[in-house]
Chain A
Amino acid sequence: MKAFPAIAIASGKGGTGKTTVAIHLAALLAAQGRAVQYLDCDVEEPNGHLFLKPKMERSESVGIPVPVVDAAQCTSCGKCAEVCEFNAIAMLKKPLVFPELCHGCGACALVCPVGAIRETSRAIGVVETGRTGTIGFAQGRLNVGEPMAPPLIRAVKARRNPDAIALFDSPPGTSCPVVATVRDADLVVLVTEPTPFGLHDLALAVDTFRPMGKPMGVVVNRADDDRRVQDYCQAENLPVLAELPDDRRVAETYARGELVFDRLPEWRDRFDALWSRIEECL
Chain B
Amino acid sequence: MKVVITSSNKTLADPIDMHFGRAKFFILADTETGKAVVHDNAQNLHAAQGAGIQSAETVAKLGAEVVITGSVGPKAYKALQAAGIKIALLEAVCPGTEALRRFKDKELPVLDKPNSEGHWV
A90 touches B79 (CB 8 A): yes
Whether the Cβ atoms of A93 and B83 lie closer than 8 Å is: yes
A147 touches B120 (CB 8 A): yes
Contact present for A96 and B120 (CB under 8 Å): no
Cβ-defined contact, B84 with A98, below 8 A: no
Given A81-B57, A86-B50, A87-B47, A94-B82 contact (CB < 8 Å): yes
> Does B115 sit at the interface, judged by CB under 8 A?
no
Tell me, rounded to whole Å, the shortest Cβ–Cβ distance linking A102 to chain B.
10
In the complex, whether A235 has a CB less than 8 A from a CB of chain B is no
Residues of A close to B84: CB separation below 8 A: 93
A88 at the interface (CB under 8 A from B): yes
Residue B116 at the chain A interface, CB threshold 8 Å: no
Nearest CB in chain A: distance from B12 CB, A: 26
Complex Cα spacing A88 to B50, Å = 7
Kindly provide the distance from the CB of B7 to the nearest chain A CB, expressed in whole angstroms: 22
Indicate if the CB atoms of A90 and B54 lie closer than 8 Å.
yes
Main secondary structure of the interface of B (DSSP, over half): helix
Q: Which residue of chain A has the shortest Cβ distance to B79 in the bound complex? A: A90
A92–B120 touching, CB < 8 Å: no
The CA-CA distance from A87 to B83 in the complex, in Å, is 16
Complex CA–CA separation, A5 to B103 (angstroms): 66
Can you list, as one digit per residue, whether each of B35-77 has a CB less than 8 Å from chain A (1) or not (0)?
Answer: 0000000000001111101101100100000000000000100
- Contact between B79 and A96 (Cβ–Cβ < 8 Å)? yes
Whether A273 is near chain B, meaning CB under 8 Å from some CB there, is no
Contact, CB under 8 Å: B49 / A101: yes
**A131 → chain B closest CB, angstroms:** 35
Is A251 part of the binding interface, using a Cβ–Cβ cutoff of 8 Å?
no
Quick one: CB contact mask for A144-163 with B, threshold 8 Å, 1 for yes? 00010000000000000000
Q: Is the Cβ of B82 less than 8 Å from the Cβ of A87? A: no
Q: 27 A-B residue contacts at CB 8 Å?
A: A81-B57, A86-B48, A86-B49, A86-B50, A87-B47, A87-B49, A87-B51, A87-B53, A87-B54, A90-B50, A91-B57, A92-B56, A92-B57, A92-B83, A93-B82, A93-B83, A94-B82, A96-B53, A96-B78, A96-B82, A98-B53, A98-B78, A101-B49, A101-B50, A101-B53, A101-B75, A147-B120
In the A-B complex, the 9 residue pairs with the closest CB atoms = A87-B50, A92-B83, A92-B82, A90-B53, A96-B82, A90-B57, A90-B79, A87-B53, A147-B120
Q: A94-B82, A98-B78 are in contact. List 11 more A-B contacts (CB 8 A).
A: A81-B57, A87-B51, A90-B53, A92-B56, A92-B57, A93-B82, A93-B83, A96-B78, A96-B79, A98-B50, A98-B53
